Amino acid sequence: MLLNDVAVVIFGASLTYILGTSRLGAYVKILSVQGVLLFFSAISHAETLGFFHSVFIAFETLIVKATIIPLFIFFIIKDLGINREVEAYIDNFISVIVAILIVIGSFTVAAIMKNVGQDSNIDVLTMGVSISAVIIGLFIMISRKKLITHVMGYLVLENGIFLLSLALATDVPIIVEMGVLLDVFIGLFLMGIFINRIQSTFDSADISELTRLTD
């Protein structure tokens, strides 16, 4: 499906861009764009999803992922006065190289799964990009210093899982998606409290400050 392919390709490009930028604002905007792209990818399967499932996915992607969550993160950044520069343990250029290698490896795995698996209906493009998103989300969480960036890495990972579900099975029950969505809300809420605690204690949201903890 052309709409799905275009959305997935742009989504994949956003994964490389997010590792190459040094602005927190760009991270948040990319998350918002990914929410919209997930909507277009999901809605291209509307005939198999059904009306009510399609409506829920529209709410989940356009309202929650593309609007509410980015606004909430912007609120945390502004309210806690977090430095808007992304601080990383690994240089941005090296991060982009790593992202490219992850994408190549992910597409290799997706192609192998399609060739050796029982199900020949696997979409290699969607599968490859979704695996890339999961791994890159993890990479962001371990290579960035700020906790708020870890939250965004977790959201990229969750977006990858959402896309992976479309690649493997478009008929995922609504109750499962509601459970995942609830987990995202709880994770964001707890992380917001955690960041606020660290900020008030150490006057910084940098996780390197945790090395100052003593018995």
Per-residue pLDDT of the chain (215 residues), as tens digits, is 788 889 999 999 999 999 888 888 888 899 999 999 999 988 887 777 677 777 888 888 888 888 988 888 888 778 777 766 667 778 888 888 999 999 999 999 988 888 876 556 778 899 999 999 999 999 998 888 777 788 888 889 888 988 887 777 655 555 556 656 666 666 666 666 666 655 555 555 555 555 555 54
- Per-residue confidence (pLDDT) for residue 90, from 0 to 100: 82
Structure tokens at 35: 């929410």
Q: Report the domain count for the chain.
A: 1
Full residue range of the structural domain in which residue 138 is found: 2-212
Structure tokens at 154: 């977790």
Rounded CA-CA distance 201/158 in Å is 29
Rounded CA-CA distance 17/14 in Å is 5
Query: Positive or negative CA dihedral for 195, 197, 201, 207?
Result: negative
Q: What is the pTM of this model?
A: 0.81
Q: Which of 26, 6, 25 is nearest to 16 (CA)?
A: 26
Report whether 124 contacts 114 (CB < 8 A): yes
Where do the H-state alpha helices sit in 67-123?
69-79, 92-116
Structure tokens at 28: 């948040």
Helix (H/G/I), strand (E/B), else coil: 206: strand
- Per-residue confidence (pLDDT) for residue 105, from 0 to 100: 95
- Per-residue confidence (pLDDT) for residue 19, from 0 to 100: 87
- Per-residue confidence (pLDDT) for residue 77, from 0 to 100: 79
Structure tokens at 204: 């910084």
